[in-house]
Structure 1
Amino acid sequence: MLHKENQISSIKIKQVSLLAIILVLAALICFNLALFIPSVLGAITIYVVCRKYNFYLQEERKWKPWASALALMFASLIIIILPIYFIADLLIEKLGNAQAYMQKFNVFIDKIHDFVYSKTNFDILSKENMTKLKDFAGKYSTSALSGTLNTLTVVMSMYFILYFMFEKPRLFERILASAAPLKRSNVSLIGEKMRKLIMANAIGIPVVALGQGIVALVGYFIFGAPSPILLFALTAAASMIPIVGAAIIYVPICIFMIAEGNTGAGLGLGAYCMIVVGLTDNVLRFTLLKKLEDIHPLNTVFGIIMGMKLFGFMGLVFGPILVSFTLLLIQVYRNEFSDDDTPELQLPDKDDELEEKIDLIV
């Protein structure tokens, strides 16, 4: 008897075998179609953002599916894609000449280091650390820009996928729900949480970044910062990083301006950025992002690092979504297979007790 109990049932063997085959095939598909993963993520992101408008046009306004799909695709291109593409294209144009860019960056870092050392006699960056910083900046910026160069291919394939998602949305959602080997409650949980995560990352974070970039741009023009348009793009991109955010850009710029002899302008820009840009960040985050979804800063930090490495500039949005989705799947796994809720099921609710008493009386 004990020997039979310890044996693995044939059903479990079949389940494990089928799961292994599915994982191998999924890995092969992802490996060979890795170029299109950002397209799929982008299509899902825009679908979630425009979902209610698609149902409104098709089911209430009685638009033809193809007309609704094309209208929403065009609107998303104007509102969502073009601002992101503008910033990416600006960064590529300004930083495209990697050798010239690195020469300017090296002069910039040396100037800040020499100024701080002359004023404080504190070697903020040793020669070894400065070399590491320059190498890291060159390697990271080159990889980020090279990952951004295929943006046009990603966008075209993304809209190709998006059209079929928009055309028959009910069928698309039914296929996803039926394909998930999970309880219906967990499928609903994934759907709702992913909607909030995507809305927060695809709308909230870019709006906060764009707002900070525009406010900082005004200050760059007022105080005469070098290359204000480039600094606007860098500030908008850096503001997506939690905790430090836009300060990564404007603090070195202020020090550089002071080192160049523009003490008043450098101090004025520093005060402007800390007060006005910082206030803009706090107001937008505590109003817009809190309403959408409160994402932990560590999710955003590690998501951006991973996303930039995998997807280039578009990883600023997709990276945090993937990290949050992974943590969500862990929660769903616990809900699906954990027995932690067994004691709770043994404790009857007061309403259940009342119903039992009524049944006994009847």
Structure 2
Amino acid sequence: MDKDKQISNVAIKQVALLAIILVLTGLICFNLSLFIPSVLGAITIYVVCRRYNFYLQEEKKWKSWQSSLVLMLASLIILILPIYFIADLLIDKLGNAQVYMTKFNVFLDKIHSYIYSKTSFDILSKENMDKVKNSAGKFSTSALSGTFNTLTVVMSMYFILYFMLDRPRLFEKILSSSAPLKRANISLIGDKLRKLIMANAIGIPVVALGQGIVALIGYFIFGAPSPVLLFALTAAASMVPVVGAAIVYIPVCIFMIAEGNTGQGLGLAAYCLIVVGLTDNLLRFTLLKKLENIHPLNTVFGIIMGMNLFGFMGLIFGPILISFTLLLIQVYRNEFSDEDTPPDLKLPDNDDEEKVNLIV
């Protein structure tokens, strides 16, 4: 056989080593899959707290354990507890599932009867109504059963986070040296991930909370039933792609009109469509665009995929995974381009801020 056509020993060794690495990585991920949400959550909080961690350890000369514990406590109070209280409010209502489902069924039946009486069109057929009721019942049960799992994830997340914050330079050096990429591309990936995580971990919850608070004011003004519960539902629904908070306040408005409170129902509808809608647009086109300009389709498909893969953390890491895949395609072109001078790798966004490397 012609030696020029033979596969070199170096290539064979590279392929064999790569195969071993992939197999071992797959085994590790498969057997530790329960901790994937914890790892993703720890990475999220690490990125959010990174700048402050370096400031406390390197500028203020705090001991690493002091800085780590303070930032962990701060993240618990600022990021975790608000989500916990909203979830606790929802779970408290779902805890009385049998009693609450009766009210929920009455709520759906009144909306269905009102729409049918006005349009003579069976938008919500009996089959669909039964499906919605059954789905709500199953959701209440799964939400309760998932409470202990959530506590386990949070505890594991902070355990992992402590070791990330304790020696951050070493942690980032290990990541940087392990990546088989040019240093410029490593810095680009780190910078892009930082922006994506900040946009999803801070921007989306702030938008959700802002819409929830504005909607809560309207619920109190127009006398909506259970305004605090509706606040929690509106804040949670605002993260749902396409429909957003409208999936909560539109049925509430129809229910109020069906109850005979036509003026209040129409007033709440106008308030939510105008004020809550403007709040959503204002926050999205100011805060979210400043953090990172994420394409709406990226968010829609990312959340759908992320929720299936990672559960609640999929709200953050679903869109990131899609953006990261597109970024890796561009990195691949930069790493292995046949051109003598590969084109500068730049993502199509409007962020002209000074680039800050995540990996140092």
Per the normalisation by structure 2, the TM-score is: 0.88
- Are the structure 2 counterparts of residues 161 and 262 from structure 1 closer, same or farther at C-alpha, using a change threshold of 3 Å? same
Q: How much does 1:108 deviate?
A: 2.5
Q: Say whether 1:182 aligns with 2:181.
A: yes
Letter of the structure 1 residue corresponding to residue 160 of structure 2: I
Residues 68-118 of structure 1: CA distance to partner in whole angstroms, max 9, x if unpaired?
111111111111111111112222222234444444433322221221111
Q: How much does 1:166 deviate?
A: 1.1
Q: Distance in 2 between matches of 1:79 and 1:157?
A: 18
Q: Which has the larger radius of gyration?
A: 1
Letter of the structure 1 residue corresponding to residue 180 of structure 2: P
Q: How much does 1:320 deviate?
A: 2.6
Q: Distance in 1 between matches of 2:98 and 2:337?
A: 55
Q: How much does 1:222 deviate?
A: 1.5
Q: How much does 1:9 deviate?
A: 2.6
Q: How much does 1:343 deviate?
A: 7.3
Q: Which residue number in structure 2 is paired with residue 251 of structure 1?
A: 250
> 1:183-262, aligned counterparts within 5 Å?
183-262=182-261
Q: Which residue number in structure 1 is paired with residue 45 of structure 2?
A: 46
Q: How much does 1:143 deviate?
A: 4.6
Q: How much does 1:309 deviate?
A: 3.4
Q: Which residue number in structure 2 is paired with residue 55 of structure 1?
A: 54
Letter of the structure 1 residue corresponding to residue 291 of structure 2: L
Q: Distance in 2 between matches of 1:318 and 1:56?
A: 27
Q: Which residue number in structure 2 is paired with residue 30 of structure 1?
A: 29
The structure richer in helix per residue is: 1
- Are the structure 2 counterparts of residues 109 and 323 from structure 1 closer, same or farther at C-alpha, using a change threshold of 3 Å? farther
Q: Which moved more, 1:9-18 or 1:292-301?
A: 9-18
Q: Distance in 2 between matches of 1:190 and 1:148?
A: 34
Residues 247-282 of structure 1: CA distance to partner in whole angstroms, max 9, x if unpaired?
111011111111121111111111111111111111
Q: How much does 1:293 deviate?
A: 0.2
Residues 144-201 of structure 1: CA distance to partner in whole angstroms, max 9, x if unpaired?
6644542211111111111111111110100000011111121111100000000000
Q: How much does 1:19 deviate?
A: 1.7
Does the 8 Å CA contact 2:334/2:342 hold for their aligned counterparts? no
> 1:268-347, aligned counterparts within 5 Å?
268-339=267-338, 341-342=339-340
- Are the structure 2 counterparts of residues 334 and 237 from structure 1 closer, same or farther at C-alpha, using a change threshold of 3 Å? farther
2:7 aligns to what SS in structure 1?
coil
> 1:47-126, aligned counterparts within 5 Å?
47-126=46-125
Q: How much does 1:304 deviate?
A: 2.3
Q: Which residue number in structure 1 is paired with residue 346 of structure 2?
A: none
Q: In angstroms, what is the RMSD of aligned CA positions?
A: 2.2
Residues 29-73 of structure 1: CA distance to partner in whole angstroms, max 9, x if unpaired?
112212211111111111111111111111111111111111111
Q: Distance in 1 between matches of 2:305 and 2:142?
A: 12
- Are the structure 2 counterparts of residues 92 and 302 from structure 1 closer, same or farther at C-alpha, using a change threshold of 3 Å? farther
1:270 aligns to what SS in structure 2?
helix
Letter of the structure 2 residue corresponding to residue 277 of structure 1: V
Q: How much does 1:229 deviate?
A: 1.5
Q: Which residue number in structure 2 is paired with residue 171 of structure 1?
A: 170
Letter of the structure 1 residue corresponding to residue 13 of structure 2: K
1:194 aligns to what SS in structure 2?
helix
Per the normalisation by structure 1, the TM-score is: 0.87
Q: How much does 1:132 deviate?
A: 3.8
Q: Distance in 1 between matches of 2:188 and 2:342?
A: 20
The answer for unaligned runs of 5 or more in structure 1 is 346-362
Letter of the structure 2 residue corresponding to residue 322 of structure 1: L
- Are the structure 2 counterparts of residues 322 and 262 from structure 1 closer, same or farther at C-alpha, using a change threshold of 3 Å? same
Q: Distance in 2 between matches of 1:4 and 1:98?
A: 74
Q: Distance in 2 between matches of 1:106 and 1:49?
A: 42
- Are the structure 2 counterparts of residues 175 and 213 from structure 1 closer, same or farther at C-alpha, using a change threshold of 3 Å? same
The answer for unaligned runs of 5 or more in structure 2 is 344-360
Q: Distance in 2 between matches of 1:324 and 1:84?
A: 25
Does the 8 Å CA contact 1:196/1:292 hold for their aligned counterparts? yes
2:70 aligns to what SS in structure 1?
helix
- Are the structure 2 counterparts of residues 145 and 296 from structure 1 closer, same or farther at C-alpha, using a change threshold of 3 Å? farther
Q: Which residue number in structure 1 is paired with residue 20 of structure 2?
A: 21
